[in-house]
Chain A
Amino acid sequence: MELIDQHTKRIMQGCKRRARDAGLRFEDETLEYIVSNRDLLELSPKVMIPTLYDYWVHDVEVLKGKGKYELYPGNPFETVINTRPAVSFYNDNNPDWLNVMIFYHVLGHIDFFQNNLFFRHTWDYDFNGQALADKRLIAALRSEKGRWVDYIIEFARGIDNLVGFHHELYRLDRTPLADFSSRVNYYFDVFLQQEKKVSTTRYVQEIKRYNDCLQQFGDQGEQTFFADIIRDYPEFDALYRRNRETRHVHMPDLMQYLLEHSEMLNREENKWMQTVLQVVRNTSLFFQPQIRTKIMNEGWASYWHETLFLQDNRINGHEVDFARVNASVTAMPRVGLNPYALGMRLFYAIEQMADQGRLSIEFQRILDADQRRRFDRATGRGRSYIFSIRENFCDFLFIKNFVDQDFVTANNLFVAGRRLNRDRMVWEFYVKSRKADDYRQMVLDSLYHPPVIEVDEEQGQDGELYLVHRFEEKPLVQEFIANTMLGIEFLWGAPVHLETSEVVSIGAPEGKDLPAGTAATDAQENVGSVTWQRVRYTMRDRKLSKKTL
């Protein structure tokens, strides 16, 4: 790996200036490296972080067939990594105009990394440096403990997708609560809604009454407000106090829980294992936001490389070259999902809608198609609006909020179904649905989503660990359960239980027993209904057993 030459670096600096003028914000320092194939061979198993710790699995072809994204959230072929300074990688023979385009794309990513709130926890340190320290730490441990270090890494990696990423964000970036007393919060958030389960009207009435009290009595308002309540609900104060005492303490994620409570890990001679777990956990946390913002991140970068490239006066004469490369990057595939294309089109669509003032109740209320089409308030706020989207959204919110029928129709999108034609033994792809709801759901379903598995302290007795998998209409990959639990048992030092749901049977989808071809049209209506059962796996002395609950 070597740095790009001065000439190319000057081009990069020019790109930075133009990007800043357009409103992107990023730190000044960046590093650009030329990578050879050989470098890539070493980098890609390490998810492009040159200093990532060594681990033997990096040297082996890893079978990724089943659920590869769920297993490996990091991107093995990323051009730019979220470090301080940001490091990006280039082919050594890119022509200048192509580099200009890629630089803009990279700057788009850097801007995203450094401004999107889902990356908040990566802002305060350089991961490259951190990783180097971790790598040395692990190397030192390995020289002392030998292969056991690798076992611990293996077991820790087995659960590194269960890290509490959102809790980490919450800790760092909690929205300041409005200035209410905890009593008021309790009354409106818990008491009315959960204890009394009042109707919405009643709830709104109470809010109004609260506001009236404040207005009428000023400082004494709250007291007056509660005086009435205690008259109606004498039990209120007692409940409030009890709630204060047993206020829901947030459960740490599985790794944290092991670190704090595992007797095995807390033995003096095993303390070193905790460090390994910490390293694996931090590394996993670092990669979490990247996969949760893939569509946005790529869309954002594509939006900017397109916008800025076409304004750049240094590349006159290469418009056609650019158009070719750009088209291959941002074309919507006939079947499949391209994050660049989808994200970029969404950003354009959102910008336009905000420009025309369509993201408003006023527009939402219009039902007349013609009026909708002609609606334009010329707010000129499109740009600033997409900047706020890039700051506050992740893929889920992005898709959930902005994929609407107008967008789906305008871009000719559809859900492509796949079915088996038994007559000809081919998979047929067909246009399954052009409804925005279906399209949105299809994209949402394909997003990264690790299972929620939590520790249940009440059920874990006699020092055993009890894990509960929250049911989300998806089973766990069965063949992975044994080895993962083996690892947890090792780290916990006592038997481990896992409660999860399994498919008992899937109702035969329409057409299975019918002659091929006949059932084609209504197949989508009859996705087999699934029967579930709750089961408990137990890993005891490295033996797995299963019990139906």
Chain B
Amino acid sequence: MDAKLEKLYRKLEDDGLSAEQEEKILSELRAAGGHGVAGDKCAPEPSGQRAATAPASIYDYHDLTVLQGIAALESTYTARIRSIDELLERDRQREKDGFPRKIRVGKLIKPGRGGRDKVVVVPTTVEEKFIHDNTFRESSGEGQAGGSGQGEEGEVIGEQPVREAEGTGAGGPGQGEDGQHELESNAYDLGKILTEKFELPNLQDKGKKRSLTHYTYDLTDRNRGFGQFLDKKATLRQIVETNITLGNLPDPSNIDPSKFLIAPSDRIYRILSRERDYESQALVFFLRDYSGSMAGRATELVVSQHVLIYSWLLYQYDKQVETRFILHDTDAKEVVDFYTYYNSRVAGGTQVFSAYRLVNEIVEKESLAQDYNIYVFHGTDGDDWDTRGDKALPELEKMLTFSNRVGITIASAGGKQSEVEKYIKKSGWIDEKPDLLRMDVIEQDADESRLIQGIKHLISEKVEA
């Protein structure tokens, strides 16, 4: 046990802990391992007592694969006929025709080092039919398959972890670089899809910076004689002016337009002009709890949600949004890129306030609050050694003074309110400042659509009923 953590634990113990809290803390303390970053390549699965991932059924065998070793590869949708735009367009049309939407956006990012993040977009769909649900008994944990070989009845012949093990080299949620079924694209596409769904809330004009990359094109400039679009009103005015000057308009009360003299230069046109655009700047902090208790599904959820937010920001606000990444267990640290943020393994204890304090420090030190719209997204499973939020709440309060929105995602371990959830609710800020603080509690079995719904809640302008 880490001496420092040990000390912290003793102190907490002195302050008084319920048995349950103590157990949680101890389990995190005892868990071995540090926060490595998973390698680029997926390490081979640890051999030994391990059964196949899922017992193959008779319909899992195909001649091409079995006999000729032709892999069941999947193409990118771009290699197929349709683009994502067409699919989405089709989906919108479905809605207009009164049928439910069918396209879902699946599976996500493959961060690469040095900002070369790849997002894996899989448009998926389901063809519904009346079919038997053969798995309805399996929720109780039972299942069966064929087998062959030695072994007495009742003998255990192999086992398989319920959730894929973390820290075994398989890396964080990304599971390394394999995955022949994934379709690769870039962050752009995913962002584009998501953009349909969200927009940053409360964006304010802060420290407007003239954009170097964004231009708008508009028919704003006027030009005499030639151009793209005849401005009829301006032209007429010019003609009248010219004719007054020429004395060709003797009686203002009785104008005969057919007598007008028109010079070519009287024609006023609008022409296309390039305007530099001004944009508000935003800074987004991603905070992730990577303590031991986050193992498995909780991390997966938090990270996938942050991936979604990150991809969307990349697309929607391109260079205008800066992102910072902070990981915390009992201490917080800033990491350089999304890759590290994404792939760091879980271990250690939990103190939420450490992350909040780091954000506050960074903002203060770099005086970011003046120039940037600041957004903070924090993902955790809700465990906190600081059970009453004595330290976290003051830091959070401070954070709310400069943030445009703080979004906290809690991957709940089922049923019970977690500590973070409790103390934040108790603070009452969610109701007092719904503009600034949002919290989203997701169950561990949430799927992607639930995550997207969660993001909507975190960033929407108005609290949905």
- A residues adjacent to B (C-beta < 8 A): 35, 37, 40-41, 44, 56-57, 59-63, 66-71, 75-80, 89-91, 94, 98, 101-102, 105, 109, 147, 151, 154, 157-162, 291, 294-295, 298, 325, 328-329, 332-340, 342, 411-421, 424-434, 439, 442-443, 445-451, 453, 469, 472, 474-484, 486, 498, 503, 506, 508-509, 512, 520-521, 523, 527-528, 530, 542
Contact = CB atoms under 8 A, between A and B. Distances in A.
B133 A506 contact: no
A291 B162 contact: no
Interface residues of B, number: 80
Given A91-B68, A339-B58, A480-B131, A416 B140 contact: no
B58 A342 contact: yes
B146 A442 contact: yes
A333 B56 contact: yes
B233 interface: no
Contact of A414 (B90, B136, B148, B163): B148
B142 to A, nearest CB: 6
B132 A449 contact: yes
15 contacts: A61-B123, A161-B130, A294-B58, A333-B52, A333-B147, A335-B145, A419-B143, A427-B162, A430-B154, A443-B146, A447-B58, A449-B132, A450-B130, A474-B136, A530-B137
Most B Cβ at <10 Å: residue of A328, A329, A339, A521: A339
B432 interface: no
Contact of B125 (A60, A75, A335, A430): A60
B142 A509 contact: yes
B77 A61 contact: yes
Nearest to A147: B93
Interface string B223-250: 0000000000000000000000000000
B135 interface: yes
Interface in B52-109: 52, 55-70, 72-75, 77, 79-82, 87, 90, 93, 97-100, 103-104, 106
A59 B82 contact: yes
B129 A159 contact: yes
A294 B77 contact: no
A368 B83 CA distance: 69
A71 B70 contact: no
B150 interface: yes
A542 B81 CA distance: 31
B156 interface: yes
B49 to A, nearest CB: 9
Nearest to A328: B66
Interface of B: 51-52, 55-70, 72-75, 77, 79-82, 87, 90, 93, 97-100, 103-104, 106, 122-137, 139-163, 181, 183
A329 B97 CA distance: 49
Given A60-B125, A431-B157, A339 B61 contact: yes
Which 7 pairs between the two chains have the least Cβ-Cβ distance?
A77-B62, A416-B147, A79-B63, A480-B128, A336-B56, A332-B148, A337-B146
Q: Which secondary structure dominates where chain B touches chain A?
A: loop
B146 A413 contact: yes
Nearest to B54: A336
Most B Cβ at <10 Å: residue of A59, A71, A451, A482: A59
Contacts of A98: 68
Contact of A340 (B55, B66, B150, B160): B66
Given A79-B64, A298-B61, A160 B129 contact: yes
Given A420-B141, A506-B137, A154 B127 contact: yes
B144 A416 contact: yes
Contacts of B65: 77
Given A432-B154, A483-B128, 15 more contacts: A70-B129, A79-B64, A79-B68, A158-B129, A294-B58, A336-B57, A338-B56, A342-B146, A415-B147, A446-B58, A474-B133, A477-B132, A486-B99, A509-B142, A512-B140
A424 B50 CA distance: 14
Nearest to A94: B68
Contacts of B144: 415-418, 432, 442
Nearest to B106: A61
A161 B128 CA distance: 11
Contact of A79 (B67, B126, B140): B67
Given A337-B57, A426-B161, A508-B140, A450 B131 contact: yes
B57 A69 contact: yes
Contacts of B153: 414, 431-434
A446 B54 CA distance: 14
A502 to B, nearest CB: 10
Nearest to B49: A426
B87 A60 contact: yes
Nearest to B143: A418
B130 A476 contact: yes
Contacts of A521: 154
Nearest to A427: B160
B124 A77 contact: no
A59 B81 contact: yes
A169 to B, nearest CB: 21
A498 B156 CA distance: 43
Contacts of A482: 100, 128
Contacts of A483: 100, 128
A75 B62 contact: yes
A340 B66 CA distance: 10
Contact of A478 (B66, B104, B133, B151): B133
Nearest to A345: B148
A37 B71 CA distance: 9
A151 B61 contact: no
A76 B130 contact: no
A60 B103 contact: yes
A77 B72 contact: yes
Given A70-B129, A77-B62, A484-B130, A333 B148 contact: yes
A71 B59 CA distance: 12
A530 B140 CA distance: 12
Contacts of A418: 55, 142-145
A313 B112 CA distance: 54
Nearest to B79: A41
Given A102-B67, A412-B150, A480 B129 contact: yes
Nearest to B139: A506
A345 B322 CA distance: 63
B112 to A, nearest CB: 22
A159 B144 CA distance: 29
B154 A425 contact: no
Contact of B132 (A57, A335, A419, A476): A476
A523 B143 CA distance: 11
Contact of A77 (B63, B75, B183): B63
B4 to A, nearest CB: 29
Contacts of B151: 414, 431
A84 B69 CA distance: 26
A475 B132 CA distance: 6
Nearest to A418: B143
A477 B135 CA distance: 9
Given A61-B124, A338-B61, A429 B51 contact: yes
Contacts of A446: 57-58, 145-146
A381 to B, nearest CB: 29
A512 B64 CA distance: 42
Contacts of A342: 58, 146
A129 B82 CA distance: 26
A44 B130 contact: no
